[in-house]
Amino acid sequence: MHRDAAEAPASPPTASFAALGLIPELLRAIADQGYEQPTPIQAKAIPVILQRRDIMGAAQTGTGKTAGFTLPLLQFLAPQANTSLSPARHPTRVLILTPTRELAAQVEESVRLYGKHLPLRTAVVFGGVDIDPQIKALHAGAEIVVATPGRLLDHLHQKTVNLSRVEFLVLDEADRMLDMGFMPDIKRILAVLPPRRQNLLFSATFPEEVRRLAKELLHAPVTIEVAPRNAPAELVSHLVYLVPAPRKRAQLVRLIRGRDMRQVLVFVRMKRDANRLAREIQRDGIATQAIHSDRTQAERMQALEDFKQGRVTALVATDIAARGLDIEELPFVINYELPHAPEDYVHRIGRTGRAGMPGEAISLVAPDEMRFLEEIEKLLKRKLPRGGAGRDDEGARTPRGHVPARHRGSHRAPADERRAADTARPAFDFTRPYEPAPAAPGPTPPQSRPLPHHAPRSRPTAALLGGSGSRQSHKKS
């Protein structure tokens, strides 16, 4: 296997889906979704995938990458799509691996949406739920299987899935999969796949482990790199409050109330802290749920649905649980604790400022977290604005952009109003892919920039996973 340094040709961002060569059934599904034009990753990836090339995609959730790989794969399957009841007529030809249950469920939902005018079958496979319905779905035949590695291996051991006809493999969020210790599982899965296939690898970052995997897996891949979608600089504003740890909770509650937040994602590092904080602010009268890897799949799905529907105001999450969450128009992200890896800050704030709506990322920073703030500022190449000069009563100030909720119970101000209110505040440049913190700050020309690469993380995996468990205990998903 070898790689070449091919770059995807720059497609004009205004190219239509039809110009990308997609078939009418897919164009109809896209129109049903209301998408008017391809996102940058779609414009770049779809033609390359249709040419049967392998892809190494530097893109995170929120860029539209799911449609970017799903649409061309559906197009490949379309000629054999059929309504036969025989499982033999529905061999598994596409395998999509994701790190988390949430992402698997979301990807499968997308596959169904984009494939709704084609008689193709999809099965989703992840742990933490009853295996029997999955066995049934696999037994009936499914051209597309979306899976987390642990549960897929269970099915392989039980011989309830047949991967001998797979022609297309997608590894989604490869960096997170490797972070979660899935490498051995992925290797075992690769070993049972037919060697001749098209491989698509997507990752937000490219640490050495991901590069090694890419080298093994991909044949002459085309590299595609895009910045997160719909998050141009002016759409996410940042604010830092310097707050001693014991006063954070009061500050959080004051912010939620004072700013009349109706939908806020609150980040902590450890799952036990997520539980505790959720309980505490629930007691303070704010409808809150925690979402992390120890909760059952049903509980996580329910919490997310309650949040999306506006029944829950605050969702307290660990980094790992929030990765891949697709929450449209999330107005606020609060970092109750800063992440220890600065790129996780970027992932966290990537949850807001999406779908063209402005968002705000607020961080409560205790004195002992200053070094993490400095790391983040180094990565973003700018100092984040401070609010309140250390006072913890800032939340009570006049709410910016205070207007009634108008979307799924979330509190959004009209874009113009919020943008005007935000103009005084510099924001992170989302139009650029993020990079490792340089030794000395200074812009690198985007053309010559290598794929984002981060040195192996030194922090313990348990912290990353938001808990005290070992890799093994978190691995099966």
Residues in touch with ligand AMP (CB under 6 A): 35, 38-39, 42, 61-67, 326
Choose between 100 and 288: whose C-beta lies nearer to ligand AMP: 100
Residue 170 Cβ, how far from ligand AMP at the closest point, in Å? Answer: 12
Choose between 33 and 444: whose C-beta lies nearer to ligand AMP: 33
Contact 120, 81 (CB under 8 A): yes
Residue 65 Cβ, how far from ligand AMP at the closest point, in Å? Answer: 5
Residue 260 Cβ, how far from ligand AMP at the closest point, in Å? Answer: 26
Q: DSSP assignment of 246-311, as one string?
A: GGHHHHHHHHHHHTT-SSEEEE-SSHHHHHHHHHHHHHTT--EEEE-TTS-HHHHHHHHHHHHTTS
Name the nearest CA neighbour of 231 among 430, 56, 389, 377: 430
Assign 369 to helix, strand or coil.
Answer: helix
Between CA 55 and CA 52 the distance in angstroms is: 9
Residue 66 Cβ, how far from ligand AMP at the closest point, in Å? Answer: 3
Between CA 11 and CA 42 the distance in angstroms is: 10
Residue 428 Cβ, how far from ligand AMP at the closest point, in Å? Answer: 18
Choose between 47 and 64: whose C-beta lies nearer to ligand AMP: 64
Q: DSSP assignment of 413-475, as one string?
A: --HHHHHHHHTTS----TTS---PPPSS-----GGGPPPP--PPP-S-HHHHTTSS--HHHHH
Residue 18 Cβ, how far from ligand AMP at the closest point, in Å? Answer: 13
Question: Amino acid identity, residue 395?
Answer: G
Residue nearest to ligand AMP (CB): 66
Choose between 13 and 367: whose C-beta lies nearer to ligand AMP: 13
Choose between 326 and 435: whose C-beta lies nearer to ligand AMP: 326
Residue 183 Cβ, how far from ligand AMP at the closest point, in Å? Answer: 24
Q: Which residues contact 299 (CB under 8 A, 6 or more apart)?
A: none
Dihedral pair phi/psi, residue 314, rounded to 5°: -115, 135
Choose between 66 and 288: whose C-beta lies nearer to ligand AMP: 66
Give the HSE-up count for residue 142: Cα atoms under 13 Å, Cβ half-sphere.
24
Choose between 326 and 377: whose C-beta lies nearer to ligand AMP: 326
